[in-house]
Amino acid sequence: MQQELEQLESAALDELARVSELSQLEAWRVQYLGKKSALTAVLRSLSSLSSDERKVIGARANSVKESLQNSLATRKETLSLESLDESLGASAIDVTLPGRPLPHGRLHPTTQVMGEICSVFAGMGFQIIEGPEVERDYYNFEALNIPETHPARDMFATLWVDAREDRNARLLRTHTSPMQIRLMEQQKPPLRFVVPGRTYRYEATDATHEWMFHQVEGLAIDVDITLRDLKETLFEFCKKVFGRDTGVRFRCDYFPFVEPGGEVAIECVSCKGAGCRLCGGTGWLEILGCGMVHPDVLSRCGIDPSVHSGFAFGMGVERVSILRHGIDDIRHFYSDDFRFLRQF
């Protein structure tokens, strides 16, 4: 019987070591320590033994029972720890690991270039101001010498907010020039302002046209402002933004709200003036329209054209950006493609 107990103990412990799930432990307990187990049978049979035998076997049987109970408790603890480890494994936060870097945002290329343009003019003493994107017909057209019947209205395909027959109709500004009027109405000369902002045109989009784009308007009004001031200002701007070695061309152009009107082009950044696809073979790239503020526009804003004069200009921000970075399609700017945007 001694031997039977030894075997029973070692078989039970072997088996216990193989139990790998908490849920299987109960079955093991029933088999080796339960009411119908071999060990319980031995303990029950003690009364039928002689008193000498009972002492020896009884002591041994009780020590086996104790050993099995202790081993069960230990095994239970080990298995619970293991399963806790496993469930933590997936979600555990290891505070000793180095942190994951957060992706950090950056300014949109348009915002960057617009900021750069404005800071060049700020350096020449211009103040920076913004204006409304939803404008009145009066400010966008009428006050700028573009009456209802004027053929120049064709230059600005307009997105209307109200029915356009209404003389007070609202529209999405087609250029930043309406801010010339607002500034001259609100303040007395001398004035020196640049106005960055969004503009809209009702146009089919393609590689060179977007229905929403950005402009920076410039306005300077004072006594004795001449065409020479305009040219000096814009030439200086071009040198700062495109580099000293880039050629700049100043030519006549027509805008109803300036007289005379002009246009500034820079030497093609791609072919350096030789003629290529980007410049359409001309060697030059237009970047802005400009001119001396028309006397009628001045008087309409309560400024006496015999005392004050001034110049204005308006440039396309995406255009400057396209030329600086050699971008082949304006639609890249607002298509939210991170592969494009991350480059700036």
Positions in the binding site for ligand PHE (CB under 6 A): 175, 177, 255, 258, 261, 289-291, 312-314
CB of 252 to ligand PHE, least distance (A): 12
- Taking the least distance from each CB to ligand PHE, the nearer of 113 and 146 is 146
Closest to ligand PHE by CB, 64 vs 258, is: 258
Q: How far is the CB of 298 from ligand PHE (least distance, A)?
A: 13
Answer for the pair 194, 216: CB distance below 8 angstroms, yes or no: yes
- How far apart, in whole angstroms, are the C-alpha atoms of residue 173 and residue 181? 13
Token output for 326: 């050699």
Contact (Cβ atoms closer than 8 angstroms) between residue 205 and residue 171:
no
Q: How far is the CB of 202 from ligand PHE (least distance, A)?
A: 14
In sequence order, the β-bridge partners of residue 311 are 220, 292
For residue 104, the minimal CB distance to ligand PHE (Å) is 35
Spatial CB neighbours of 146, under 8 Å, sequence gap ≥ 6: 152, 153, 156, 256, 257
Specify the residue, 265 or 290, whose C-beta has the smaller distance to ligand PHE.
Answer: 290
- Rounded CA-CA distance 161/170 in Å is 5
Backbone angles phi, psi at 157, to 5 degrees: -65, 120
CB of 314 to ligand PHE, least distance (A): 3
**Contact by Cβ (8 Å): 271, 304:** no
Contact status, residue 14 vs residue 73, Cβ threshold 8 Å:
no
The least CB distance from residue 162 to ligand PHE, in Å, is 22
**Rounded distance between C-alpha atoms, residue 280 and residue 315, angstroms:** 20
| CA 100 from centre of chain | 19
Q: Which residue is nearest to ligand PHE (CB)?
A: 314
> Least distance from C-beta 135 to ligand PHE, angstroms?
12
Which helix (DSSP H) or strand (DSSP E) does residue 218 occupy? strand 212-222
Dist. CA 163–CA 169, nearest whole Å: 6
Nearer to ligand PHE, 5 or 248 (CB): 248
Closer by beta carbon to ligand PHE, 28 or else 255: 255
Find tokens 């009145």 and name the residue.
Answer: 136
- Compute the distance between CA of residue 195 and CA of residue 180 in angstroms, rounded to an integer: 9
Q: Which CB, 258 or 265, lies closer to ligand PHE?
A: 258
Instruction: Write down the residue that tokens 């009884």 correspond to.
Output: 58
Closer of 32 and 255 to ligand PHE (Cβ): 255
The smaller minimum CB distance to ligand PHE, of residues 49 and 296, is found at 296
Minimum distance, C-beta of residue 263 to ligand PHE, in the bound complex (Å): 8
Give the separation between CA 191 and CA 179, rounded to whole angstroms: 12
Cβ proximity to ligand PHE, 178 vs 283, nearer residue? 178
Whole-number minimum distance, CB 141 to ligand PHE, in Å?
A: 11
Cα–Cα nearest to 9, from 37, 35, 45, 36: 37
